[in-house]
Each structure stands twice: as structure tokens, then as C-alpha cells.
Structure 1
Amino acid sequence: MDPIVLVPGLLCTDALYAPQIAAFEADGHTVSVADHRSDDTIPGIAERLLRDAPERFVLAGLSMGGYVAMEVMRQAPHRVTRLALLDTAARPDTPEQTANRKRQIRLAEAGRLDEVATALFPLFVHEDRENDPGLRNAVLTMARATGAEAFARQQTAIMNRIDSRPHLAAISCPTLVLVGEGDRLTPPDRAREMHELVPGSRLEIIPGGGHLPTLETPGATTAALRAFLRG
């Protein structure tokens, strides 16, 4: 049974995958969560992941974690046995997105990271969960655990990422592209685009899920991932 390496998204910690980690470990998998907070480039994060990871492993990344996963597939595709790209996109930042990230970095460096996380929360979840206090607290807790310095490194890495679309056709391992149907940051059309570019990939759209379906709709998301792992 292949070990699993998970890569969280921006401002997220291991807690993003808590329901899945419990399920996968119960199934007998060894699960680890990559460090995506210590480097300020996507290639650097991928290199660190590969240094720390088992020789062969299943790889799953959500949002920023997906950007890292696609870079891992460029650096060491032979080491990944299965790939799951969750609520992510292959396109690079637009100028507007980059400008917004720079503004958020300035706010965080001024001691206003809670304000940034609070403003991002509605975009992180399905519109029906914008007032969910449990989810809001989970997102804020992960943001505080990440901290302003790591947040700045993450945003810098994201801003400078490449366009991954030209590289997706080279992915040859079994691949799942999963997205919440109500994801407003990386919507289903971005998932479909990746699905169409990765040969033989499977597309799963999770009803009721937003950008963080691992926490919003953990039952359906875990079931989809388990089915994928079982082939």
C-alpha cells in the first residue's frame, strides 16, 4: 500500500486534511503532510517535499498544494504512483491576482493577518457556508498557525508560479481532478481544463463543496479519494 503525501493550500495546515488522514490511516496507509511554509518558490517547496518523501508515493495537493504537486510531476514524475489535484488550477496568476496578493502580504506584515483570513473566508467555502462558525474558526485557526512570515513566502511562491498547462499532457500516472461544485476561487471550469489536458484523468465534482471540500464535505470528498486510491 503506497504511502500518501498531502500538500495543503495557502494559509492551511494539516488540519485541512484531518478527516482524510484519519480515513487513510484506518485503511492502512502511511500519511505525511508536506512543508509548504518554509520556501518562497514553488520549485523550492517541491524540492523539499521530494527530499522528505518516500521513494514512491501517492501525491495529493489542494489549491496551492496543487501547484506544488504539478511541479513535483515536472521534477520527479517517476516517484508518484497516483496524483490527485484538488480545487486547483494550472493557469498562472493574472496581474489583478498578483496585485491583490501583494496587498494581502502588506496587511499581514502590518499585523493584520486575521483581517486577511476573515476576508478570504467567504471565497474559501461554498456560498451556503459563509456563515458557518465552525468552518470560519477552522480557517482562522489554520491562518494563525501559519503566521504572517510563512504567508508572505507562500504568496510570493504562488505569484511567481509558471503556467502548468503545457506540462499536463506529460503526466502518465493515474490522476484524479476533484473540485467542489461551488468553488469560487478555482471553479469547476478550471478543473475541467486540467482534466482535458491530463491523459486518462478522472474528474470528480463534489456537490455542496466550495474551495475546501476536504473540510466542507468530508464524507463525499473522502469517498471520492478512497475510490481513486483503490483504482
Structure 2
Amino acid sequence: MTDPTASLPQLILLPGLLNDAELWRDQISDLSDVARIWVPDLTPYATIREMAESVLDKAEPTFALAGFSMGGYVAQEIARIAPQRIQRLALLDTSIRVDTAERAAQRRALNKAAAKGGTFLGIGQAIMKSYIDASRLDDLDLTTRIVEMTQRLGREVFLRQNSLEREDGEAALKALHVPLVIIVGENDQITPAAGHREMAWAIGCTHLVVIPKTGHMTPMEAPSPVNGALRHWLQRPAGKR
């Protein structure tokens, strides 16, 4: 019997820092009619390059690729290594720039605090307000999912992923001639919308989706508009930006 999904493209969904497939729960369920979805495990690797190579080792010859936050940097590394394998690219709540000195200092401070021991809280309630929109802070289902996901992955994964060196991805992305989309929450405090507008201009992406009343965790906070944007992107003609 013929597999009815065999003709669908592979869609690789790359998680962010301290994220796993739970981040993409609603995309996995809602986009399965237009793509065969795979969420790689990025947690064992110590560099962006190792993450990218691990994805390429297991991926199909060509694929659609979506990267969230840290996963966006992994997508950019894949574009450096094997641009010919990417059929289309989506970047969500991420950046194409190296960390600023201020952001690098923040990462060092967070690692120092996380390395002290005691109970690892992950993205706990104390810092949730910087990850999701203020209007969602009382959404117990959402906040519980985020806290449990980040606690499940734990301290060692956080220390490893928060220490990753990030490279500028502008040149690699400008060289791609595939359908692109950039998605960001209007109130993203981690990777602000202004940076995504600059990113879109820098790489020549004309499809920028800014989701109102949403913070950094767009796949979890706003699954319906994110899924709508990804569905449209997956159905755009191949070979055109």
C-alpha cells in the first residue's frame, strides 16, 4: 500500500535553548497534512556546527527548515554547510547577529548563577515575564508547559547551550534562493521585533510576520498564527525568495 505522506516534503523544526519537541507540539499536530515533520534532538552537542552536522547526517537529501531562537543559528549554519539541501527556510524569534557585549555578559552571568547548584528552575516563574507576553502570564497551561520542558532538559543542557558561540549569518542567508519567512512576537524581549525587521532587510526577505500580543515563545504562545504563516510558506512556489 502506498504511503500517502511519501510525497510531502520533510519539515525539520529546530528547537531553541532548553527546548525540545514540546516547543513544536501544535505545529507537529496541525501541519502534518502538508509536511512530514521531524524535530531533532540538539541537546547533546557543544557547538552550533556539531548541531548542524548532526541534523544533516540524519535529514533527507532536501528539506524545509524552520529554526526557533537558538535553532535559528543552527539553521544558518546548515545554510553555510549545505545550502543546496534547503528547499525553504523559516526563522522564528531569532537573530542573524553575534551576541552584543551586553548580551554576552548576560549569558556569562546566567551560567555563573546556574552553575552554583541547588534546584534548577529552568525558565521559572521569576523570569517568565521576559519570555512570554504579559497578557499570558496567568495562563497556567502555557507557563507549566514551558517550566516543565526547561526543567526536564536541566542544568547541564542549559550551561552547554547558553555557552554556544553564535556567528553572523547574513552572508549565508542572502545566498539562499528559496522561499523565506521571518516570524516574531510583537513583544519579544529576548530577540525584539526591531531586530527581525533589520534581519529581513539585510537578507532580502519580503515575508515578515509580526504576531500581536505575543512574546518570545511564539510556537507555544500563538500556534494558530504561527501555523498559518508556516502553512503559507510551505505552499509558496519553490525557487523564489
**TM-score where L is the length of structure 2:** 0.89
Report the more deviating stretch, 83-92 or 194-203. 194-203
- Partners of 2:87 and 2:100 lie apart in 1 by 32
Percent identity between matched residues is 36
Displacement, 1:200? Answer: 4.5
Gaps of 5+ in 2: 1-7, 237-241
**Structure 1 position 137 matched with structure 2 position 144:** yes
**Structure 1 position 203 matched with structure 2 position 192:** no
**Structure 1 position 42 matched with structure 2 position 48:** yes
Deviations 1:182-212 (A, max 9, x none): 1111111111111112234411111222111
Extract structure 1 runs of 4+ deviating beyond 3 A.
Answer: 115-120
Deviations 1:104-148 (A, max 9, x none): 223333134206543432111112223332222111111112111
**Structure 1 position 24 matched with structure 2 position 31:** yes
| Structure-1 residue corresponding to 2:11 | 4
Does the CA contact (< 8 Å) of 2:180 and 2:205 recur in 1? yes
What is the count of residue pairs matched by the alignment?
228
Over aligned residues, Cα RMSD in angstroms? 1.6
- Partners of 1:44 and 1:222 lie apart in 2 by 28
**Structure 1 position 123 matched with structure 2 position 124:** no
- Partners of 1:14 and 1:69 lie apart in 2 by 16
Displacement, 1:6? Answer: 0.5
| Residue 116 to residue 226, structure 1, CA distance change in 2 (3 Å) | closer
Gaps of 5+ in 1: none
- Partners of 2:53 and 2:158 lie apart in 1 by 19
Does the CA contact (< 8 Å) of 2:122 and 2:147 recur in 1? no
Does the CA contact (< 8 Å) of 2:26 and 2:219 recur in 1? yes
**TM-score where L is the length of structure 1:** 0.92
| Structure-1 residue corresponding to 2:4 | none
Which of residues 20, 37, 60 in structure 2 aligns to 1:54? 60
Which of residues 184, 196, 209 in structure 1 aligns to 2:189? 184
